[in-house]
Amino acid sequence: MENTKFCPVKLLPACKAAIWGGHRLKAEYGKHSDLPSIAETWELSCHPQGESTVASGPFQGTTLSEYLRKLGPEAVGTRVKGAEFPILVKFIDAAERLSVQVHPDDAYARRVEGQAGKNEMWYILDCEPGAQLLFGLKESCTREELEKAIRENTLVEQMRAVPVQKGDVYFIPAGTLHAIGKGILVAEIQQSSDVTYRVYDYGRLGQDGKPRQLHVEKALAVADTVSRPVESSPEGPRQEIQGGFMTRMKTSSWFTVDKLELSGNFASACGPESFQAFLCLKGCGDLSGGGEYLSLQKGDTVFLPACMGAYRLTGEGEFLRIFL
């Protein structure tokens, strides 16, 4: 294997439409699509429902999964078990509120859906004044009581409404009933899964003019009926590092996320245990490593192979760094 193949690559996302999507990802994050509006961009994805595409280097134009197959297991690292790429990273523009939904854990999703479950993290990029999300239940209940609330359309009243601010971070474990509210822009890091059980949709009609499908029975099978506290702060403190500040947003069994506030030169390295990925949220930067040089702008996503070794990120901006 030629070492020159192990270099950072830019990615182009798969763009997704939904009735609640808006225009900010086009206008502010440089996303290009023929869709009239964009609800989500799947920035780092090998999921068959929406793969990202390599946009730089000798493998330009290939899907991310094809690129990783050509490079071999050294590209993803030893923490990736099996053939599936484990992470999916998105931008989400909720111009209108999303449905109330819930995701299954790995055991249920593998058994019933044939794919991974979905634990996820939201980083609030921006929000309208007064914006809020729904997160879990105000009070614990039985499964029978939850079913009654769903059938009688009183579920929203029993959920916890959480005001959000720019910079908040939320971890949403599988089984948590939740909904992103109107006017919220999110960077989402999740397991590579597209399993969503919709429980309530405010009586809206889909793009086909019909009520969107609900998945009540499956939702009841996986929903957590215990009321749990909501935490909106990063996991770790904001620490000064070479080239700026670093904050550990979340460490989990499925992904680790750091926020980098860059003002200068940040030098680090990929190790054999995991790939790394950067999302440019604000400003710009230049990334060099593996003999490659990339210029990053707001909205760009870059993948760094695990075996690449040292890299340097220089510039002024805000980035999320994601790895296992």
Give the C-alpha separation, 185 to 173, whole Å: 20
Q: How many Å apart are CA 264 and CA 299, to the nearest integer? A: 19
Q: How does DSSP classify residue 29?
A: T
CA distance 86 to 193: 9
The Cα-based distances of 176 to 100, 101, 168, 221 in angstroms read: 10, 8, 18, 12
Cα Rg, the chain, nearest whole Å: 20
For residues 195 and 210, give the distance between their C-alpha atoms in angstroms, rounded to a whole number: 21
Of 313, 239, 253, 308, residue with least CA distance to 278:
313
Dist. CA 145–CA 220, nearest whole Å: 11
Burial class (CB in 10 A: 0-12, 13-18, 19+), 219: buried
321 is catalytic: no
How many CA atoms lie less than 13 Å away from 137 in the CB half-sphere? Answer: 19
> Exposed, middle or buried, 35 (CB in 10 Å: 0-12/13-18/19+)?
middle
Q: How far apart are CA 264 and CA 225, in angstroms?
A: 47
CA–CA separation, 144 vs 218, rounded Å?
A: 14
Antiparallel, parallel or unpaired: β 244-251 and 132-137: unpaired
Q: Which of 111, 198, 312, 321 is catalytic?
A: 198
The closest of 78, 74, 77, 50 to 64, measured between CA atoms, is 50
The structure tokens 């999916």 sit at 88
Catalytic residue annotation: 198
